[in-house]
């Protein structure tokens, strides 16, 4: 019975992730793509004998539409699934929150842990920024930062739970968040910096690109938290009186 609940939540998480991915895709297409195009324009006007532009394997038209959609939607589904599994674990364990509040809190924490924490140290870069020779190092650092963000967030939650009986919920939460910020700050201080922005790359373009990348993630996670929270609420607390038309998902109890 419980296993079926986990499966149902997982499926809903992936669907909510897909839906949130569509929202993020809209932001990506309208806010992000113009900046990618400008950056590619810069790259081409400065192409002084650098590789990888002789043969175009995938046209720009496809990259900015179908390719973009593939990437963003898979990202949404994958993180939706992972977040749903985390939700199964968090539900009833992090505090006195119902399914919707748990989903939104989880979503906000996920945005912070898997995106904002890595982003502040290793922000998103448009085409033309970044040395091809250091891709291995940059990828390692980026994924390391994501893993670190998640581990530290989990550690902060555990710390908060441990401190709560002694300090009270409010103070324990403040202490746990402070601990998280401190640990992230230490990681920032010790991990190597990456700055491979060409000297003459337009600063305004870089800012707009990074802002649009951030907007995508905020859209994705806010959308996921709200949609998944609603779906989880209906699954776990079906309200027979409110919806009699049979749209409510009847969960086996």
Partner 1 sequence: MAQHVAQPTTDTPVVPAKLPLKDIAPWAVFFGVLMLVLLYFVGAEQGATAVVSGEDVHEWVHDARHLLGFPCH
For binding to partner 1 (CB under 8 A), which residues are involved? Answer: 2-3, 5-7, 10, 28, 32-33, 36, 52, 57-58, 62-64, 67-72, 74-75, 77-79, 81-82, 85, 88-89, 91-93, 96-99, 101-102, 115, 118-119, 122-127, 130, 132, 135-136, 138-140, 142-143, 164, 168-170, 212-213, 216-217, 236-237
The closest alpha carbon to 119, from 21, 194, 214, belongs to 214
Q: 76, 21 in Cβ contact below 8 A?
A: yes
Least distance in angstroms from the C-beta of 203 to partner 1: 18
Least distance in angstroms from the C-beta of 86 to partner 1: 9
> What sign does the dihedral 155-158-160-163 (CA atoms) show?
negative
Complex with partner 1: residue 227 or 235, whichever CB lies closer: 235
Complex with partner 1: residue 182 or 237, whichever CB lies closer: 237
How far is Cα 249 from Cα 115, in angstroms, rounded to an integer? Answer: 32
Least distance in angstroms from the C-beta of 78 to partner 1: 4
Complex with partner 1: residue 139 or 185, whichever CB lies closer: 139
How far is Cα 8 from Cα 169, in angstroms, rounded to an integer? Answer: 31
Least distance in angstroms from the C-beta of 119 to partner 1: 6
Least distance in angstroms from the C-beta of 170 to partner 1: 7
Complex with partner 1: residue 33 or 230, whichever CB lies closer: 33
């Amino acid at each position: 019975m419980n296993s079926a609940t986990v499966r149902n939540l997982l499926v809903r998480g992936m669907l909510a992730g897909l839906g949130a991915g569509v929202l993020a895709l809209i932001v990506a297409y309208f806010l992000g793509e113009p900046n990618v195009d400008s950056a590619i324009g810069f790259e081409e006007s400065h192409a002084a004998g650098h590789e990888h532009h002789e043969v175009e394997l995938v046209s720009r038209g496809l990259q900015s539409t179908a390719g973009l959609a593939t990437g963003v939607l898979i990202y949404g589904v994958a993180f939706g699934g992972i977040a749903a599994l985390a939700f199964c674990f968090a539900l009833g364990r992090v505090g006195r929150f119902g399914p919707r509040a748990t989903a939104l809190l989880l979503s906000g924490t996920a945005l912070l842990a898997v995106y904002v924490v890595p982003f502040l140290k290793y922000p998103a870069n448009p085409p033309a920024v970044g040395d091809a020779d250091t891709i291995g190092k940059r990828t390692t650092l980026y994924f390391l930062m994501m893993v670190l963000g998640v581990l530290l967030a989990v550690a902060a939650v555990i710390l908060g739970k441990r401190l709560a009986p002694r300090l009270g919920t409010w103070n324990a939460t403040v202490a746990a968040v402070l601990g998280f910020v401190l640990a992230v700050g230490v990681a920032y201080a010790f991990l190597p910096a990456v700055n491979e922005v060409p000297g003459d790359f337009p600063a305004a373009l870089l800012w707009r690109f990074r802002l649009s990348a951030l907007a995508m993630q905020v859209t994705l996670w806010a959308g996921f938290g709200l949609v998944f929270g609603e779906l989880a609420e209906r699954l776990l607390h079906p309200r027979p009186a409110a919806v009699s038309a049979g749209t409510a998902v009847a969960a086996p109890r």
